[in-house]
């Protein structure tokens, strides 16, 4: 398929700068900030002290003393509150960015930041327009790509009552770094080796499952559909 573009101007964009920017984030996010580089998207989460989701996000190193954090609209307010509680105690400054932003899918990598959440290559363009030849995707069209990629969305497939491992956020969690908010709960679950429920993909042989549809196994309710698009669904089971 050719280039496609999806308007993400409503996503949350936060820039942290200063000599303490990385140290500040290292104590707050689940990813190991020491692995940041200008060529890599680092998936991460921010958790409550009890280990529940505040937001899923991506980290980008802009310079040695500047980090960009990106999240989805439903998580942006909670993430801002979590940052504001802590940033005043650090030697870093936070700026909330606004303006046009696009996710270009099928991009050749010539511009923007890598965004590796989808099954297809994609890049974030911030403050720039997508290529003229790109097909503009509607929200339902992007949902098909998202659900097919098994990508959970905050506000749909997970919320502030969800544990990160229930939402399959393993790639966003470092088991090697030091202390961060919610680490004790995450470590306990990892050592137990299981969660009570987990996000799963469903493919229906016919028809379409609507959001909040009950998932049955042997006549017993085992979960609910959280997202559905293009004949595929995500469900917390």
Tell me the whole-structure pTM to 2 decimals: 0.94
Note the pLDDT of residue 116.
94
Query: How confident is the model at residue 36, as a pLDDT?
Result: 95
- Asked if 131 and 220 sit in the same domain, the reply is no
Tell me how far apart the alpha carbons of residues 135 and 5 are, in angstroms, rounded to a whole number: 6
What is the Cα–Cα distance from 194 to 165, expressed in whole angstroms?
Answer: 9
Residues 81 and 163 in one domain: yes
Whether the CB-CB separation of 198 and 171 falls below 8 Å is answered with no
pLDDT of residue 207: 67
Nearest to 28 by CA among 38, 16, 13, 18: 16
Kindly state whether residues 180 and 213 are assigned to the same domain.
no
Same structural domain, 87 and 165? yes
Query: Residue 101: which CATH number?
Result: 3.30.1360.120
Closest CA to 212 of 202, 199, 201, 227: 227
Last residue of a domain, one of 157, 173, 192: 192
- Domain total of the chain: 2
Whether residue 72 is found in the same domain as residue 97: yes
205 and 124 in one domain?
Answer: no
Cβ atoms of 183 and 32 closer than 8 Å: no
Q: Are 14 and 97 in contact (CB under 8 A)?
A: yes
Q: How does pLDDT run along the chain (237 residues), one tens digit per residue? A: 789 999 999 999 999 999 999 999 999 999 999 999 888 899 999 999 999 999 999 999 999 999 999 999 999 999 999 999 988 888 899 999 999 999 999 966 668 999 999 999 999 999 999 999 999 999 999 999 999 999 999 999 999 999 999 999 999 999 998 899 999 999 999 988 789 999 999 987 666 788 988 888 888 999 999 999 988 999 999
Indicate the helix (H) or strand (E) that contains 18: none
Both tokens of 134, joined, read 């790109």
Domain extent, residue 175, equals: 4-192
Residue 220: how many other CB atoms lie within 10 Å: 7
């Amino acid at each position: 398929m050719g280039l496609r573009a999806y308007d993400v101007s409503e996503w949350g964009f936060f820039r942290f700068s200063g000599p303490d920017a990385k140290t500040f984030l290292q104590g707050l996010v689940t990813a190991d900030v020491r692995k940041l580089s200008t060529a890599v998207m680092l998936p991460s989460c921010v958790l409550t002290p009890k280990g529940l989701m505040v937001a899923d996000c991506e980290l980008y190193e802009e310079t040695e003393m500047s980090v960009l954090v990106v999240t989805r609209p439903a998580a942006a307010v909670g993430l801002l509150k979590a940052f504001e509680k802590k940033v005043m105690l650090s030697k870093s400054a936070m700026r909330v960015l606004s303006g046009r932003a696009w996710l270009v899918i099928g991009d050749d990598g010539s511009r923007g930041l890598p965004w590796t959440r989808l099954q297809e290559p994609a890049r974030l363009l911030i403050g720039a327009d997508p290529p003229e030849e790109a097909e503009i995707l509607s929200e339902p069209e992007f949902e098909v790509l998202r659900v097919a990629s098994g990508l959970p969305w905050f506000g749909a497939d997970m919320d502030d009552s969800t544990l990160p491992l229930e939402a399959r956020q393993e790639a966003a969690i470092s088991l090697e770094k030091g202390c961060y908010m919610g680490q004790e709960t995450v470590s306990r679950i990892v050592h137990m080796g299981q969660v009570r429920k987990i996000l799963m993909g469903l493919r229906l042989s016919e028809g379409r499952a609507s959001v909040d549809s009950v998932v049955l196994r042997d006549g017993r309710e085992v979960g609910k559909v959280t997202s559905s698009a293009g004949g595929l669904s995500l469900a917390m089971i």
